[in-house]
Structure 1
Amino acid sequence: MIFPQLQIQSTRAKIGIRSELGHFEIKQSRAYIQIESKGARVHIDSEPAVVHIDQTKTWDALTGGKPLTFWNRIYDQSGKFVLDAIQNTVDEYNKIGNILATDNPIAEVARDSMFRQSPYHDIFGPASSDNVDFNPTFTKPDINVDVGGIDIQVQTNRPQIEYKRGSTRTYMEQYPSVHITPPKFDITL
């Protein structure tokens, strides 16, 4: 005996989902920058150099110098001249007083005194290329430096942020179904 069989077919439901992601839109304008620079400055205070020139030796050589120096120089040499004159006088009288002399000593002394050179008076200073003394005096300069600098001002702009939402759509892609096929009976005998 054969039992009739039922055929049942079922189809599952399918749910479809479509989604779009949300996204951000960001806008931001550029920052504003202002730069001010101040250059360095140097302040220098200085005094000119001072040169002390001493020409005393030069004037001593040319004119004898200041009167006090001139007369002191003559006075310093006069002691030597007096000693030389005394020595000459002693020599002359020794010649005249020489009993053993055969010639005329008085005439000889007179002739020598006629041609005798007068004593040399050194009344001027020595002539030299080093007669001028230079003494420079330098002062240190006073240097002040103002460094200056840079002043930077930055103004930023806030960003504008917009969020656009996405979406989700749910739909039935396939509906569920059940198909039942009834059995076929053959009733013919």
Structure 2
Amino acid sequence: MPQIQIQSTPARIGIQSELGQYQMRQGKVNLNIKTEPTVIDIKTERPVLIIDQTDTWNALTGGKAEAFWDRIYNSYGQYAARYVENKTQEYDRIGDITAGGNPVADLARQKMSQDMIPLNVYGHASPRNVKFDAIISKPEVNVQVGGVTTTPDYSPLDIQYQRGKFNVYMEQYASVKITPPEIDLTI
């Protein structure tokens, strides 16, 4: 019995592709630097020197009148006590009958050659009579801190893209081949 022959060929699709390409360019970055110096402001006052020569002038000239008379007045008590003591000794000597001689004449002669009791009207002389006192104020310091400012200057980024290729094609078409049976028509 004759048979039909069928032959089929499947279709085949071909694909070719190439990747796209990026090209990127960017210029150098410029860096702007700005500096501000630190400012220091110092304010000071001149030192004050106080010299006290009061004791020196008291020792040399007696000083101011008030201090001069004060020293004289304050030393009167000491002189009065010494005077009373001397007079008591003189009267004891005059009153002593056993001593003999002429005590009044002897005391008078002695008084003529005797120095007066020194009166301390001047101050004490000393190398430390001059006093120094210094007034030094602290300086006022103001500091304005400087700084550094940096500013980058970027150039723009240039991006270019080249598209790739994508090719789809039929590598083989589908086909069906039918072979009819051979029939012998000769009979």
TM-score bracket, normalised by the shorter chain, equals 0.7 to 0.9
The reply on whether 1:103 has 2:132 as its aligned counterpart is no
Q: Of residues 168, 176, 179 in structure 2, which corresponds to 1:178?
A: 176
Separation in 1, partners of 2:62, 2:171: 134
Pairing of 1:102-181 with structure 2 (within 5 A): 102-104=99-101, 105-110=103-108, 112-113=110-111, 116=114, 118-127=116-125, 130-181=128-179
Separation in 2, partners of 1:159, 1:23: 16
TM-score with structure 1 setting the length: 0.75
Deviation at 1:26, TM superposition (A): 1.8
Structure 2: segments with no counterpart, 5+ residues: none
TM-score with structure 2 setting the length: 0.76
Separation in 1, partners of 2:178, 2:164: 42
Structure 1: segments with no counterpart, 5+ residues: none
Change (3 A) 1:93 1:186: same
Segments ≥4 residues shifted beyond 6 Å: 185-189
Q: Is the 8 A contact 2:58 2:64 kept in 1?
A: no
Separation in 2, partners of 1:142, 1:174: 97
Identity %: 39
Deviation at 1:115, TM superposition (A): 7.0
Counterpart of 1:160 in structure 2: which amino acid? D
Q: Of residues 47, 50, 66 in structure 2, which corresponds to 1:49?
A: 47
Aligned residues: 185
Deviation at 1:160, TM superposition (A): 1.1
